[in-house]
Amino acid sequence: MDTSLSPFKIFSGTKSRYMAEEICKELGVELGSMKIEHFADGEFEVSFEESVRGCEVYIVQSTFPNCDNLMELLLMIDAAKRASAKSVIAVMPYFGWARQDRKDKPRVSIAAKLVSDLLVTAGATRVITMDLHADQIQGFFNIPLDHLYASSVFIPYIQSLKLEDMVIATPDVGGAKRANNYAKYLDVPLVLCHKQRAKANVVAKMTVIGDVKDKNVILVDDMVDTAGTITKAADLMMENGAKSVRALASHAIMSDPATQRVNDSALTEMIFTNSIPYTKDCPKCTIISVARLFADTIRRVHSNQSISSQYLIK
């Protein structure tokens, strides 16, 4: 690790400690010491238990479950800034509130913009995140944002399966660009699913656009919440003659009853990264670590090197 620039330290919030420990192991450094003290009414206080004066401070924290983890992150950023850190980098494997990225009906908030403003106001000087729900969220920040892609770990895994007659599919039209990038890289056909929602998290109707007969299908998405869409798409693919259906998604939100739905579905395998801790019993689920991806990015940011060379596809 090149430490010829300024010293750097890595800290973690409560729910992302597992990720921070893996990142530190990859970098060969110790995880910084900090304390989070809770009060009886649910309020909490964060404090660094070692000096960060003049340091590059990297704070690893996903925002799921959303409210407490986001508040923890904001307080840690503020504490580091007030402790005279040279810079404060928020490392957010999962950036929550990203589904609210525009006004799609009257009188609603744009939560993704609000969260970006909160991070900057708290004192973040850079954000490192992965597979945002919408690429335009990068434009909400007036500080540097490094947007990583889980494809760098998913593509090698897909190739290791050595599937014949493979097609890439997307469970909704909104993810067509992401799925198309996978299909181009792997040089396989692309299939789309068109869905109509009755309301949030409830799919009313779904149609397959493309040929999946006698194909091994890989469904690509950025997150799975209740798993209603992804499992309905998998069942539909099998009804249309697919040999097998696997799905990959960067973020395992997996709100109940998602685990049961995946277990009961036609999916052969559900592949996630460990951006969010997922510990429920799901034999069909495979978790791939992205700690090395984030560690390498931290190393490159610290050494003022380009990070684009590690992208397979975007």
Find the catalytic residue in 15, 105, 162, 195: 195
Amino acid residing at 123: G
Q: In what order do the strands lie in the sheet with 145-148?
A: 8-12, 56-60, 87-92, 126-130, 145-148
Exposed/middle/buried for residue 94 (C-beta within 10 Å: 0-12, 13-18, 19+) = buried
Instruction: Give, in degrees to the nearest 5, the angle at Cα 119 between 115 and 120.
Output: 120
Residue 141: alpha-carbon gap to chain centroid: 18
Element housing 74 (H / E): helix 66-82
CA distance 237 to 191: 10
Element housing 20 (H / E): helix 17-27
Helix (H, G, I), strand (E, B) or coil at 181: helix
Please state at what angle helix 111-122 crosses helix 66-82, rounded to 10 degrees.
30
**CA dist list (Å): 109 to 102, 137, 225, 255:** 8, 14, 21, 23
Q: Is 195 a catalytic residue?
A: yes
Which are the catalytic amino acids? 195
